[in-house]
Amino acid sequence: ELKVEQNPLFLSMQEGKNYTIYCNYSTTSDRLYWYRQDPGKSLESLFVLLSNGAVKQEGRLMASLDTKARLSTLHITAAVHDLSATYFCAVPGLYNNNDMRFGAGTRLTVKP
């Protein structure tokens, strides 16, 4: 069974600090997605990583994908309060790619 594991599940950090969220998955996949979810809201697509070694950056967030290690990272640089949200990684399903398999999410709180 495909498993997608994120850590940490909860992250509290000070503004201005850096941190990395990790996403491990248990099967071969050459693509991975990162989403942001604010409380009570839907999922907002952040990054689509389509190949081994892919790196994408948007503002203070940078995502990378290592398909050999089955690992993706979401790095936060100089965090600000507006980044407080829950971040999910997801990979296509194991057998038919029809479903996305999501990690449990990392709830990030950035404190002033």
Partner 1 sequence: NAGVMQNPRHLVRRRGQEARLRCSPMKGHSHVYWYRQLPEEGLKFMVYLQKENIIDESGMPKERFSAEFPKEGPSILRIQQVVRGDSAAYFCASSPRGGDYEQYFGPGTRLTVT
Chain residues that interact with partner 1, rule: CB under 8 A: 4, 31, 33, 35, 40-43, 45, 48, 88, 90, 92-93, 96-105
> Reduced to 3 states, what is the DSSP secondary structure of residue 30?
coil
Shortest Å distance, C-beta 78 to partner 1: 27
* HEC-encoded secondary structure of 77-108: CCCCHHHCEEEEEEEECCCCCCCEEECCCEEE
Instruction: Output helix, strand, coil percentages for the chain, rounded to the nearest 5.
Output: 5, 55, 40
Shortest Å distance, C-beta 86 to partner 1: 9
Of residues 75 and 93, the one with the C-beta less far from partner 1 = 93
User: If we measure between CA atoms, which residue out of 16, 36, 8 comes closest to residue 79?
Assistant: 16
Of residues 43 and 77, the one with the C-beta less far from partner 1 = 43
Shortest Å distance, C-beta 54 to partner 1: 14
Of residues 7 and 14, the one with the C-beta less far from partner 1 = 7
User: If we measure between CA atoms, which residue out of 112, 111, 105 comes closest to residue 46?
Assistant: 105
Of residues 37 and 73, the one with the C-beta less far from partner 1 = 37
